[in-house]
Amino acid sequence: MRIDLHTHSRVSDGTQTPTDLVRAAADAGLDVVAITDHDITAGWAEAAEAAEDAGIGLVRGIEISTRYRGSAVHLLAYLPDPDDPMLVAELGRILEGRGARVPAMLARLRALGHPGATEEALAEVAGDTEATGRPHVADLLVRLGAVTDRDEAFRRFLSAGGPAYVDRYAADLTDMIGIVTRARGVPVVAHPWGRGSADVLDRSAFAVLKEAGLFGVEVDHLDHDPEQRARLREIAADLDLVVTGSSDHHGTGKTDHDLGCHTTDPEQLARIIARAAELGSPTSVVGAAP
């Protein structure tokens, strides 16, 4: 059984519709895929319909933007109640923050000599997403001929500290673990040692987060080298945290992150599903489950 627990659609910064994402997952031979768009559940319904049609299992989730001791940390929330008022309110604040920084980023790019960096032009590449992110701005720079791909746009303009980088609101990680759990979802830290979070998320931090309700850690991810994976696996075993793996697929938006390039053990997914049931989650797994 092949399970990929972290992917993105056009509802955030992936490049496929939820339907195309789920079909591609089935074509890639996956038995279960999770849709985990950034800070939003708007793709869930379409993905669920596509999963029923394709005969593949679907885990509905979210990848939530949080902060821990000043560093950005992504928190995967599996099977929460999408209508939980606290969760809805906090995701709303994050989405508002995403929207609010867009004009500032575009203004910086215009000042850097890219007059085509306007909100109208951005809307053409980003479509109608409510979760606008730097990858959409990157796509605009590609269209303007300023860079060849998202990667170059991040390297030259958009990475933290880059000339067009603008910070945005993110929820506190510990608070968000509580909010997800009260929404009867299962919190799992995404790629904890990718993108510079390694220094803040050490063993003692994981121990504290476990006390706050953290249930798992994403270990098998392209951002982690073999040594990091081995160390994370040890920490997870020590603290009895679930271990997951995923592609973090973004369609054509991220190279090498092919669907199923990393996967999650069925037993680990079974623990996540059992935890959601124990919490009384109204969100089920669509179709086949381990």
Q: Which chain residues interact with Fe ion by CB under 5 A?
A: 63, 74, 190, 248
Contacted by 154, from Zn ion, Fe ion, ligand AMP, none: CB < 5 to 8 Å by type: ligand AMP
**Closest of 1, 12, 40 to residue 248, by C-alpha:** 12
CA-to-CA distance for 232 and 219, rounded, in angstroms?
A: 6
If one asks whether residue 221 binds ligand AMP (CB under 6 A), the answer comes out as no
Give the separation between CA 160 and CA 178, rounded to whole angstroms.
Answer: 27
Burial group, residue 137, by CB count within 10 angstroms (0-12, 13-18, 19+) = buried
Q: How many residues bind ligand AMP (CB under 6 A)?
A: 9
Q: How far is the CB of 196 from Fe ion (least distance, A)?
A: 12
* 135 vs 245 by CB, closer to ligand AMP: 135
Environment class of 242 (CB within 10 Å of its CB; exposed 0-12, middle 13-18, buried 19+): buried
Of ligand AMP, Fe ion, Zn ion, none, which one sits near residue 167, judging by CB under 5 to 8 A according to partner kind? Answer: none
Nearer to ligand AMP, 198 or 289 (CB): 198
CB of 51 to Zn ion, least distance (A): 21
Q: Phi-psi bin for 119: left (phi > 0), alpha (psi -120 to 50), beta?
A: alpha
CB closer to ligand AMP out of 134 and 262: 134
Site string for ligand AMP, 11-50 (x = CB under 6 A): --x------------------------x------------
For residues 83 to 122, the per-residue mask of contacts with ligand AMP, x marking binding by CB under 6 A and - elsewhere, is ----------------------------------------
Rule CB under 6 A: which of 241-280 touch ligand AMP?
254
Q: Establish if 13 lies at the interface with Zn ion (CB under 5 A).
A: yes
Exposure of 166 by Cβ count < 10 A (0-12 exposed, 13-18 middle, 19+ buried)? middle
Cβ neighbours around 163 below 10 Å, total = 12
What gap in Å lies between CA 124 and CA 147, rounded to an integer?
17
Q: How far is the CB of 251 from Zn ion (least distance, A)?
A: 10
Q: Which two tokens stand for residue 55?
A: 């005969």
User: Applying CB under 6 A, does 193 fall inside the site for ligand AMP?
Assistant: no
Q: In angstroms, what is the minimal distance from the CB of 232 to ligand AMP?
A: 19
Site for ligand AMP in 123-182 (CB under 6 A): 133-135, 150-151, 154
Q: Which stretch binds Zn ion (CB under 5 A): 6-14, 88-96, 104-112, 215-223?
A: 6-14
Residues 239 and 254: beta-carbon distance below 8 Å: no
Q: CA-CA distance, 117 to 136, in Å (whole number)?
A: 11
In the bound complex, which residue of the shown chain has the CB atom lying closest to Fe ion?
A: 74
**Which C-beta is closer to ligand AMP: that of 114 or that of 210?**
114
Instruction: For residue 72, list its beta bridge partners.
Output: 67
CA trace torsion 59, 98, 150, 33 (10° rounding): 0
Residues at the contact surface with Zn ion, assessed by CB under 5 A: 13
